[in-house]
Amino acid sequence: MNFKQFLRPDWRKIVIFIVLLLISLVIVYDMPVGELLTSFRGLPLPVLFFYNSDWHPIPIWYVLLLFGLIDLIFWYLLSCLIIWIYGKIKKKS
């Protein structure tokens, strides 16, 4: 299996990706909003959702977009890895 085949989407990878994404969202956002806004949250990358007027942070929409894209890429690569490992184990059996 080359790298293109590893990344090529199929129904199993997409299902695992969606399940992993939903689990991560449930874990991250299952808390009160006040606590969410002042704590590190996120899977796999935690983000500090806190705005302090003394320092001028990057706009929150930019942070959410960037970390959201990184999270999506991470979960898709993890689903590809799971299917690849499953294929290797199945070939040996």
| Among 38, 17, 39, 41, residue whose Cα is nearest residue 27 | 41
Q: What are the tens digits of pLDDT across the range 9-63?
A: 999 999 999 998 888 877 666 655 555 555 556 666 666 555 544 555 666 666 6
CB neighbour list of residue 66: distance below 8 Å, 6 or more residues apart: none
User: How many whole angstroms separate alpha carbon 77 and alpha carbon 93?
Assistant: 25
Q: What is the pTM assigned to this prediction?
A: 0.73
Structural contact between residues 22 and 28, judged by C-beta atoms closer than 8 angstroms: no
DSSP secondary structure code for residue 59 in this structure? P
